[in-house]
Amino acid sequence: MQKPLHFLRDCFTAATRGGPSFYLWAGFLSLLILIGAWAYTLQLRHGLIVTGLNDHVSWGLYISNFTFLVGLAAGAVMLVMPAYVLKDLDFSRAVLIGEGIAVGALIMCLCFVTADMGSPQNAWHLIPKIGYFNWPNSMLTWDVIVLNGYLALNIFVPAYILWSHWNGRHPNKKLYVPLMFVSVFWACSIHMVTAFLYASLVARPFWHTALLGPRFLASAFAGGPAFILITLLLIHKFSSYKIGSELFRKLALIVTIAAQANLIMLGSEAFVEFYFPSHHGISARYLFFGYQGHDALVPWIWTGIGLNILGTLLLTVHLTRRREGWRTLACALIFIGIWIEKGMGLIIPGFIPSPLGEIVEYHPSTPEILVTIGIWALGLLIMTLLIRAALSIELGHARAPGAATKLPDDH
């Protein structure tokens, strides 16, 4: 029992000790978390009335961010899959970092869903047996299962690998490689299930399309690896953990292909909605061009689409994709573009117009925005701490007493 505690202590020390720039970053995030927590107490006290939500637009900024972040979590599979299924050694150096990002993203997802709940004190009603778990009927129960399962996979597999390395030995492949395969399928399932959450609603024609699931996957495999690429670049620049240029090249290629597929599907949806505009296309008309004088989302969605197209173009052209500066910029553009398109650009128009044709627009309130920023800060802090702990073991800095700093050659 002594040893695991020692391991955890080493991880904690590695995660929380650092230079001034780390303390500045962690302090900045903590401040945002505190402000968000304060804003959340307002919501607990007065109810969701402090948000911009209402009976017409009943999901907003929280669920938008939740949807996007499921994609970010699923994006980590684009490191796991090449590393373990295709046995590409370039990727295996980054897998642990990808999984740290997935854990942070999943915790953000759970926080956003909780923040959106009107009665979080009743969350225990979701526990099977003790509460009433409406499985398999409710897609939300499926989402609870897949998100928590994916979170468990992304905590335990890296923890086992790090534990083995900390002990100066290789992890047992028979133990964790099957789980890695499971997590590849699981990653796809978290995003498909989240898409089905919306696509299953006949009341909302904007979401009620079979293309939603595949489009979620494409945007996840563009936005997720784009974020990972930027994170890896930061680690490469600011830590002693070096990442080969091959990996950046391959990751950029993944982002390119996924972003292209995403744009093709966007075009396909736009064609169906606008070739012969029907009643079912009113939400899309509202989103892209405004409807009956209501156009709050028009500049927002065109910004997102502009960023996506520009980013995809920069990545498609070899000349720009191969230059580090352009490549990183393109990834940032795609990340923000997808956050807009798959966040508010997807959730809000589902509610406008209402099923009875009424139009009520939505603007997030200040407390809602503060809570959202706080949850993002929490996620980024968790990612930072997990990655720092992992890297300190990977670099051989943290080791069990007497364990070899350098791992024996793999066989």
Among 99, 116, 341, 394, binds other proteins (CB under 8 A): 116
Binding of other proteins by 160 (CB under 8 A): no
**21 with 29: CB under 8 angstroms?**
no
For 321-377, the DSSP string reads HTSHHHHHHHHHHHHHHHHHHHTHHHHGGGGSS-TTS--------HHHHHHHHHHHH
- The distance of closest approach from Cβ of residue 38 to other proteins in the complex, given in angstroms and rounded to an integer, is 10
Interface stretch with other proteins, choices 91-99, 122-130, 323-331, 337-345 (CB under 8 A): 122-130
104 or 205, CB closer to other proteins?
Answer: 205
- The distance of closest approach from Cβ of residue 58 to other proteins in the complex, given in angstroms and rounded to an integer, is 5
Among 41, 172, 268, 292, binds other proteins (CB under 8 A): 41
The amino acid sitting at 351 is: F
Measure the CA–CA gap between 339 and 346, rounded to whole angstroms: 10
- Mark 182-199 as b/e (b = at least 16 C-beta within 10 Å): ebeebbbbbbbbbbbbbb
Interface stretch with other proteins, choices 92-100, 116-124, 393-401, 403-411 (CB under 8 A): 116-124
42 or 332, CB closer to other proteins?
Answer: 42
- The distance of closest approach from Cβ of residue 330 to other proteins in the complex, given in angstroms and rounded to an integer, is 35
- The distance of closest approach from Cβ of residue 40 to other proteins in the complex, given in angstroms and rounded to an integer, is 10
Among 12, 34, 89, 120, binds other proteins (CB under 8 A): 120
Interface stretch with other proteins, choices 93-101, 132-140, 283-291, 382-390 (CB under 8 A): 132-140
Among 22, 25, 93, 140, binds other proteins (CB under 8 A): 140
Burial of 40 (0-12, 13-18, 19+ CB in 10 A): buried
**94 with 247: CB under 8 angstroms?**
yes
- The distance of closest approach from Cβ of residue 103 to other proteins in the complex, given in angstroms and rounded to an integer, is 23
Among 29, 32, 39, 53, binds other proteins (CB under 8 A): 53
- The distance of closest approach from Cβ of residue 376 to other proteins in the complex, given in angstroms and rounded to an integer, is 21
How many residues interact with other proteins (rule CB under 8 A)? 49
> Structure tokens of 357?
């044709």
Region 351-410 residues binding other proteins, contact defined as CB under 8 A: 351, 353-358
Interface stretch with other proteins, choices 52-60, 220-228, 291-299, 363-371 (CB under 8 A): 52-60
Which helix (H) or strand (E) element contains residue 153? helix 139-166
Region 55-94 residues binding other proteins, contact defined as CB under 8 A: 55-56, 58-59
- The distance of closest approach from Cβ of residue 231 to other proteins in the complex, given in angstroms and rounded to an integer, is 31
Region 319-358 residues binding other proteins, contact defined as CB under 8 A: 350-351, 353-358
Region 194-253 residues binding other proteins, contact defined as CB under 8 A: 197, 200-204
Measure the CA–CA gap between 184 and 85, rounded to whole angstroms: 9
Burial of 358 (0-12, 13-18, 19+ CB in 10 A): exposed
Q: Any idea what DSSP says for residue 407?
A: P
Among 13, 16, 138, 268, binds other proteins (CB under 8 A): 138
Determine the length of the chain: 411
Measure the CA–CA gap between 48 and 44, rounded to whole angstroms: 8
**372 with 65: CB under 8 angstroms?**
yes
Region 251-310 residues binding other proteins, contact defined as CB under 8 A: 279
Could you give the residue ranges of the DSSP H alpha helices within 200-292? 212-238, 245-275, 282-289
> Structure tokens of 99?
């999984």
Measured between alpha carbons, how far is residue 8 from residues 3, 23, 151, 154 in Å? 9, 21, 19, 17
Among 29, 94, 139, 333, binds other proteins (CB under 8 A): 139
Among 13, 134, 148, 405, binds other proteins (CB under 8 A): 134
Of 66, 22, 76, 285, nearest to 193 (Cα)? 66
- The distance of closest approach from Cβ of residue 322 to other proteins in the complex, given in angstroms and rounded to an integer, is 45
Query: What is the contact surface with other proteins in residues (CB under 8 A)?
Result: 41, 44-49, 53-56, 58-59, 113, 116-123, 125-126, 131-134, 137-141, 144, 197, 200-204, 279, 350-351, 353-358
